[in-house]
């Protein structure tokens, strides 16, 4: 335990993986709109914002940014066929979350390491944000990434700015969901309550990272954990797809 904070990076990532699994179980097997579906769905919203936070942190600490980018792209490509089949994205062609994180990684490179002019950086970043329109967590993930980048200074977390980033992320997500629910005819009060519940995963992520994260990786099993998080994404989607096929 470091500084009285018991959670290391890998522990929080395992929680994010579990939350994502629940979300995907709901998407594949449950009837939309039921209480259990909503519970699993909203629990899964913990994952994307957590992944964006650790992407920013990992970008600063990685030994090879090129290898990091290649891993994201490779597993994004591997994950796309089961993703499209499991979540029936064939009619839209939506790209999976690893593609989104790859685009976010490119945004970090443009902002932190490219030799472009300021204007060129902003234009390229805007283009990459637009590209995420065709992937999971469109627009939200790159905005989260930029918010967390603002909360990093010299390789350290600016706790106040990071807290502001989580608050802004939760607020944007809640507002988007409120507008979506209200637009389809949900009463305003119910839409507001539902939207606030949907943002709870983001707020829990912020609480864990700001109050309980010790800034360290696990002391043991680092190589296993590193590859587990890449393999788990296509692996669990493929498993859910196969289970659904056997149940038909």
pLDDT of residue 92: 75
The pLDDT of residue 2 is 56
CB-hemisphere CA count at 13 Å for 88? Answer: 4
pLDDT at 222: 84
pLDDT at 90: 64
pLDDT tens, residue by residue, 174-201: 999 999 999 999 999 999 999 999 999 9
- Is residue 137 within 8 Å of 97, Cβ to Cβ? yes
The answer to whether the beta carbons of residues 73 and 106 sit under 8 Å apart is no
What's the confidence (pLDDT) of residue 3?
66
The whole-number pLDDT of residue 19 equals 98
- For the chain, the residue count is 248
Q: Residue 218's pLDDT is what?
A: 87
Dmax of the chain from CA atoms? 56
DSSP notation for 168-200? HHHHHHHHHHHHHHHHTT--HHHHHHHHHHHTH
Q: Give the chain's residues under pLDDT 50.
A: none
Per DSSP, 157 falls in state E
Please state the pTM of the whole predicted model. 0.94
Could you give the CA distance from residue 149 to residue 143 in angstroms, rounded to a whole number?
10
- What pLDDT does 91 receive? 63
169's tokens: 């992320």
pLDDT in tens, 118-156: 999 999 999 999 999 999 999 999 999 999 999 887 667
Residues facing residue 2 across a β-bridge: 5
According to the model, what pLDDT value does residue 34 have?
93
**Long-range pairs for 161-170: beta carbons < 8 A, 24 or more residues apart:** 162/206, 162/209, 162/210, 163/206, 163/210, 166/49, 166/202, 166/203, 166/205, 166/206, 166/209, 166/210, 167/206, 169/49, 169/140, 169/143, 169/144, 169/202, 169/206, 170/199, 170/202, 170/203, 170/206
- Separation CA 107–CA 55 (nearest Å): 11
d(CA 186, CA 192): 9
Please report, for residues 70, 97, 197, 199, 200, the alpha-carbon distance to residue 47 in angstroms, rounded to integers and kept in the order given.
22, 11, 15, 12, 11
Running DSSP on this structure, what letter comes out for residue 31?
A: P
What's CA 176's distance to the chain center, in Å?
17
* Number of CB atoms found within 10 A of residue 186's CB: 16
Give the gyration radius of the chain's Cα atoms: 18
């Amino acid at each position: 335990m470091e500084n009285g904070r018991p959670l290391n990076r890998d522990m929080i990532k395992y929680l994010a993986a579990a939350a994502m699994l629940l979300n995907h179980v709901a998407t594949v097997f449950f009837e939309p709109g039921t209480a259990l579906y909503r519970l699993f769905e909203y629990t899964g919203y913990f994952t994307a914002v957590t992944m964006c936070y650790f992407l920013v942190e990992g970008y600063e600490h990685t030994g090879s940014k090129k290898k990091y980018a290649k891993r994201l792209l490779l597993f994004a490509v591997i994950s796309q066929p089961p993703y499209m089949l499991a979540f029936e994205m064939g009619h839209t062609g939506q790209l999976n979350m690893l593609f989104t994180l790859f685009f976010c990684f490119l945004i970090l490179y443009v902002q932190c390491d490219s030799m472009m002019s300021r204007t060129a950086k902003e234009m390229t970043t805007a283009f990459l944000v637009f590209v995420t329109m065709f992937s999971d967590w469109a627009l939200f993930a790159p905005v989260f990434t930029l918010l967390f980048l603002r909360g990093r200074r010299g390789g350290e977390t600016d706790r106040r700015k990071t807290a502001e980033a989580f608050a802004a992320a939760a607020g944007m997500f809640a507002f988007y969901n409120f507008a979506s629910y209200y637009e389809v005819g949900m009463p305003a009060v119910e839409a507001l309550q539902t939207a606030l519940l949907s943002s709870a995963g983001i707020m829990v992520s912020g609480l864990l990272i700001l109050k309980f994260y010790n800034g360290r990786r696990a002391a043991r099993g680092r190589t296993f954990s590193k590859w587990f998080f890449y393999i788990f994404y296509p692996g669990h989607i493929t498993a859910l797809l196969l289970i659904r096929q056997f149940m038909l």
